[in-house]
Structure 1
């Protein structure tokens, strides 16, 4: 059996790492195609190193571009590779432009598509990721869902049958593998001069929060007011897509301590020690839930509603300067029944078994 993985962003490296590692351990032939959608070479290498992965077999060097041109350039790079190596399955993860391009190229090459983290829906089509994941689900051949909810959502769209599987989320495979070692390996709290439970952790990168600079300013003001009310500094690893105007706003907020983008181990260590997490990241919502960190989701909706069910997370779109103070107070006093709906760290095993079984049937 020969698998081809298509990825292009650092979250995809994390979320496919358990599958790639298993291929190496078990001697499964694989080809790794990196579109370089996230194109900071040093950061990419750091993620591969931290997750103990070999570098990609093919780097396409696509980089940043408007969505349509970026996807087109990716497909043009991926399809010839697939035609040359002829894998038995193409594995894509999530909802990025790289995932969509991998699916389109696989469909053109007539190679079965396995969609990891299938079936997520925010029901907000203003999000580019929502469009990508819908299109990808409707062209895939195998759907690997984090939980039963996604099976139901896919069925509502007419996608059902023997190739729809509940596997857990491969992102949690990585979380559970590295959670215990990350603090000892990292040292990030010492470098930033903070102590566990003594800071707030902020991530913010989605267009809904950053494209409108006036909205971004309101968000940072709300974060600052919350930090002052809690008497806690805010640790903010700043996403590369934020520009000069964003930095002017951030630099005017004294409680916010910025860092460059961080590696996976540092982020996992920061997450474990945070008094409160504020994020618009889907993956961080899941990790906060699994690691029992209270979390304000800086959005009006989420494709991961399971993260809200325990009571430990809640939606907190910034509307006023005091929005986050009010939401954090409600969250602090809410009753929380922690649970882990996202997987037991063995999603990789279930996914590979499904593909092995199918490959054996096809060969028989």
Structure 2
């Protein structure tokens, strides 16, 4: 029986890096918007919660049938709706003798009893997380635990929502009872656990965001959000044969709009940062210098290289241009890495423009 639990757990750990990768982007956005920074302890807790939820789900649905065209189970009903039916199962299968306490240890080897204990333990961490991290009341924990258990049961009885021709596991009302009991057990245990861990509601106490450095991760996220918005617009302008579409976007968005918003772009607003110049109000000349060097010089050279290749200019010219662009981009990458790993260094376009990022 232990082996049947180890397989889903191992799969959860193997697939966790992939899930964490997809989880990271929304995690960063929410943390920056809500708290203004990334707290390492809070991050560890949330990634542990993700890992736990993956383990719980895999324990419920794995192993999967060999094919989606599976055969129906040999049962009279796919639902067991008699509450506390597990007590009869334990009594029927057990070798325990009530008048002999020494035989109670046998329960630890009996399928029916272990199944009940597994269903209880499955949601104990859920209750702990709900109370310790999410700070919910016992009523919310009760309904959340019941809801999660019901989701698991529906997933099973519908063959993972119709993916499989027939259900390969049953919906059991006892699972709802024992899972919910596990969630409430975790809720009560969390009171003791929280005494030995930092208080989540105090993590941001005495925090001065103005003294925190804006990380390159945060800036990269703002960059991605901005270009997620701008790239479709750029493609449309190109398809409409608009003159100089790339330059137009840089001038309108990064010069004009950013000046009007005093250093804010959509991406920067999402992650709660803005540009600051030599004074509180950013100057247009500072923006032109900063984004002119970054997007018109560095970006423009790469755009020109792509254009030259598409239009099949002179082979000799393309060879020289390729070598030149390789050297230029290599030096730019080295410069970026040196700035990333040495906080005292400043990116060249920031040094020339006198601009920097601040948290808002």
TM-score range (shorter-chain normalised) is: under 0.3
Q: Which has the higher strand share?
A: 1
What TM-score does the superposition give when structure 2 sets the normalisation length? 0.22
Higher gyration radius (CA) = 2
Q: Which has the higher helix share?
A: 2
